[in-house]
Amino acid sequence: MGTMWKIIKRAGAVIGPLMFFGSLVLAARDIAEIGLSWIGWAAIGGGIFFASGFAIIYGLHKDNVKLLKKLESMESATLGALTGLHLVGLSLRITDLTRERGVIMGRTFENCHFHGPAIITFTGIITVIENSFDANLDLVFIEVPERSIWGAIAFHDCTLLRCTFHRIGIIGTAELKEKFRAGSTDIK
């Protein structure tokens, strides 16, 4: 988003309502002797307020368009790709990889974008390098006291290289969380 829109969005979101409601106070007190009538000040304040609202909506739209273009540039996973052992540069729903068993076993994912919603866990020997989630680890990770976990999608003996996870949480023990926090590449 351009610098002009950022300025309008931030300043207008504060100044516009202040001018608009301030002019109503002036009208109520009948002391609008500053050169413009209270209607003039209300119009200016309302205009700034609505311009800032437009800038906010425009900024959200531009951010969504950027994300959609990024996702569209990635190849969507086909049925053949979903069964492969080495998947590269795909955008896919994590649930499409598991079906009934809930386990993704012995596969390598490189530069893939996984979509949730889902909760995942890791079993066996896992290699994770430069992966990212759309929130920090404390928000994404659900800590449980036992290693036995039911209902989560499990990556078993997999490699994850530079993948992104959108709306996906991790469930596991405190030990697993600390390995992630330390940036460990091999998780057992």
Domains of the chain, by residue range, sit at 3-72, 75-187
DSSP state of 10: H
Half-sphere exposure of 167 (CA within 13 A, CB side): 8
DSSP E strands in the chain: the ranges are 75-76, 86-88, 90-93, 103-105, 108-110, 113-123, 126-129, 132-133, 141-143, 153-156, 159-161, 164-172, 186-187
Statement: the pTM of the whole predicted model exceeds 0.85:
no
Structure confidence at residue 113 (pLDDT): 92
Burial of 131 (0-12, 13-18, 19+ CB in 10 A): middle
- Each residue of 55-111: pLDDT tens digit? 667 766 676 666 666 655 555 656 666 778 888 988 888 888 886 678 899 999 999
Tens of pLDDT, residues 126-168: 888 888 888 888 888 999 987 677 788 999 999 999 999 999 9
